[in-house]
Amino acid sequence: MSARPGNRRKAPRPAPWCAVPRTDGFSLIEVIIALAVFMIGALSLSVVMPLATKRIVTAASQTRASELSAECAERILVTPWDDADLIAGSHNDPANPRDRVYYVSWAVLDSVPVVNCKRITINVSRMSVGAAALAQLTVIVPRAGAPE
């Protein structure tokens, strides 16, 4: 028996409550999961950014303190042996505060580590002379022309 074009049976339609796989677009669950992953990443960045900024500011501050201590050491190395800045004891830079923030001070010890030498320890701190040093540099200055 041959089938006539008009007598063809149509495939039964699935009931409306049956799950039919869709191939177009995203489902709501996929969108919610993608947004949740994105939000976790964005929140992680919002926590990390202030920490990174603080580290950068601290590094810049320490770099500037190191520059100031090296500058002071260079100035002290060309200072004459009998100058008031090289008398044993503590000294403060007359230009304090440098950059309105940094305080430079140094301590001079006579005959350390050997006779006819001076050990100068330079400290650079932030906000006050007595604060913790951001940079510390030690210089040994020998007496020029001293007998050995």
Tokens of 93: 């830079």
- Asked, as a colleague might, if the bond just before 5 is cis with ω within 30 of 0, I would say no
CATH number of 28-142: 3.30.1300.30
What pTM, to 2 d.p., does this model score? 0.69
Domains of the chain by residue range: 28-142
Query: pLDDT at position 143, please?
Result: 87
For all residues of the chain together, what is the average pLDDT?
Answer: 87
- b/e string for 89-122 if b means 16 or more Cβ within 10 A? eebebeeeebeeebbbbbebeeeeeeeeebbbbb
Q: Does residue 96 contact residue 103 with C-beta atoms inside 8 Å?
A: yes
Percent of the chain with pLDDT over 70: 83
Estimate to the nearest angstrom the gap between the alpha carbon of 42 and the chain centroid. 21
